[in-house]
């Protein structure tokens, strides 16, 4: 039997609609009331739009919408129908809101305050939209498509594009503005990561020890986390053993290490970042 894709429930759809709407409005507020009036730009297509808007009479919102559309059409098959429509809605709403706010008075003319609060709101807005299945900039789509052809990591392509945009901003707005823009972009990216991944980010831990059963039991009893045994064979000793794999929050890593070293001080522990955790039984058990 062919697998059927799970359809969005009304509750899921409303939640996605509300948060993409809120995210798009927040980004527009960050741009028109904080960053753009102070000649601070964002990266990606939004940054290109800000530069073009500064040297032409065309409003920023119109550039953002028109430049993003071709990339959405090109990447439609690559990113999926739901993501494409969520992104189209977010970009359209953000563009309309920037048009509406275009002649509004900025909240501040202090560049440092504009960078701090503009970057914060920008990161919140973009993070919300990404977390709920959309995007507000076609740069990611471009990077994904180029990455497949050129075999260069997506992150490196986005970084190269943004460096190029900030250099252009330096010629248009001055190098002070370009440096402020890099700082605002950094703040926005960090806030976006927190919104997308959450403050309670997860870590995967791999433990190799001869005391694997006792360690796994201690992790369950004292930390409230489940663990999984993975078969392993020593490359030097050729002995069969079991590795322990479990996922914990960032705040639980230190406690986990203490538990393991208390049982086996020579245990091998590897901790890695986890971008997202879904399904399974990640929710903590209650510890009495």
pLDDT digits (tens, 9 = 90+) for 194-214: 787 665 567 889 999 888 899
Q: How many domains does the chain have?
A: 2
Task: Identify the CA nearest to 79 among candidates 163, 167, 143.
Answer: 143
Q: Of the residues 176, 197, 218, which one is the last residue of a structural domain?
A: 197
Residue 279 lies in a domain: no
By residue range, what is the domain housing residue 98?
A: 11-197
Looking at the fold, whether 211 and 246 belong to one and the same domain comes out as: yes
Residues 41 and 108 in one domain: yes
Burial label for 193, CB within 10 Å (0-12, 13-18, 19+), is middle
Tell whether 135 and 218 lie within a shared domain: no
Query: Of the residues 164, 197, 230, which one is the last residue of a structural domain?
Result: 197
If asked whether residues 77 and 133 sit together in one domain, one would say yes
CATH number at residue 227: 3.30.70.120
| pLDDT for the residue numbered 4 | 45
Q: Which residue has 């078969």 as its token pair?
A: 231
Q: Domain for residue 27, yes or no? A: yes
Asked whether residue 186 falls in the same domain as residue 221, the answer is no
Which residues, other chains included, contact 3 with Cβ-Cβ below 8 Å and sequence gap of 6+? none
Residue 263 in domain: yes
Q: Mark whether 223 and 181 lie in a shared domain.
A: no
- 5 domain residue, yes or no: no
User: Does residue 232 lie in a domain region?
Assistant: yes
Do 145 and 231 lie in a common domain? no
Same structural domain, 193 and 208: no
C-alpha 103: how far from its chain's center?
Answer: 31
Is the same domain home to 82 and 193?
yes
Task: Compute the Cα dihedral for 185, 141, 154, 165 and give only its sign.
Answer: negative
Q: 125 and 227: one domain?
A: no
Residue 95 domain flag: yes
User: Which tokens hold the place of 248?
Assistant: 């914990």
283 falls within a domain: no
Please report whether residue 153 resides in a domain: yes
**Residue 207: predicted pLDDT:** 93
Report, as ranges of residue numbers, the positions in the chain whose pLDDT lies below 70: 1-8, 75, 77-80, 144, 148, 153-155, 197-201, 251, 275-288
Same domain, 125 and 264: no
Q: What DSSP letter does each residue of the chain carry, written as one string?
A: -PPPPPPPPHHHHHHHHHHHHHHHHHHHHHIIIIIGGGT---SHHHHHHHHHHHHSSS-HHHHHHHHHHHHHHHTHHHH-HHHHHHHHHHHHHHHHHHHHHTTSPPS---HHHHHHHHHHHHHHHHHHHHHTT--S-THHHHHHHHHHHH---HHHHHHHHHHHHHHHHHHHH-HHHHHHHHHHHHHHHHHHHHHHH-SS-EEEEEEE-TTHHHHHHHIIIII----EEEEEE-TTT--EEEEEEEEEEGGGHHHHHHHHHHH-TT-EEEEEEES---STT-SPPP--
So what's the pLDDT on residue 34? 93
The reply to whether 188 and 215 lie within a common domain is no
Residue 25 is predicted with a pLDDT of 94
Last residue of a domain, one of 133, 168, 197: 197
């Amino acid at each position: 039997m062919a697998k059927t894709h799970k359809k969005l429930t009304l509750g899921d759809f409303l939640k996605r609609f509300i948060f993409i709407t809120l995210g798009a409005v927040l980004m527009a507020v960050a741009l028109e009331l904080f960053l753009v009036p102070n000649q601070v730009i964002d990266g990606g297509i939004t940054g290109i739009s800000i530069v073009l808007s500064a040297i032409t009479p065309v409003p920023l919102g119109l550039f953002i919408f028109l430049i993003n559309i071709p990339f959405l059409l090109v990447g439609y098959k690559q990113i999926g129908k739901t993501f494409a429509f969520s992104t189209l809605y977010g970009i359209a709403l953000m563009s309309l809101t920037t048009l509406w706010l275009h002649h509004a008075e900025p909240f501040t003319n202090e560049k440092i305050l504009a960078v701090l609060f503009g970057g914060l709101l920008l990161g919140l807005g973009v993070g919300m939209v990404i977390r709920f299945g959309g995007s507000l900039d076609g740069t990611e789509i471009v990077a994904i498509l180029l990455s497949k052809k050129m075999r260069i990591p997506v992150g490196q392509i986005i970084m190269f594009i943004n460096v190029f945009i900030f250099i252009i901003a330096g010629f248009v707005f001055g190098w002070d503005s370009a440096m402020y823009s890099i700082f605002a972009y950094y703040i926005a990216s960090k806030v976006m990561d927190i919104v997308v991944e959450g403050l309670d980010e997860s870590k995967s831990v791999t433990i190799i020890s001869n005391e694997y059963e006792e360690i796994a039991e201690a992790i369950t009893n004292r930390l409230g986390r489940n663990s999984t045994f993975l078969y392993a064979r020593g490359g030097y000793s050729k002995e069969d053993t079991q590795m322990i794999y479990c996922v914990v929050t960032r705040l639980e890593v230190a406690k986990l290490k203490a538990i393991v070293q208390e049982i086996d001080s020579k245990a091998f522990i590897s901790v890695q970042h986890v971008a997202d955790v879904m399904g399974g039984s990640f929710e903590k058990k209650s510890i009495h």
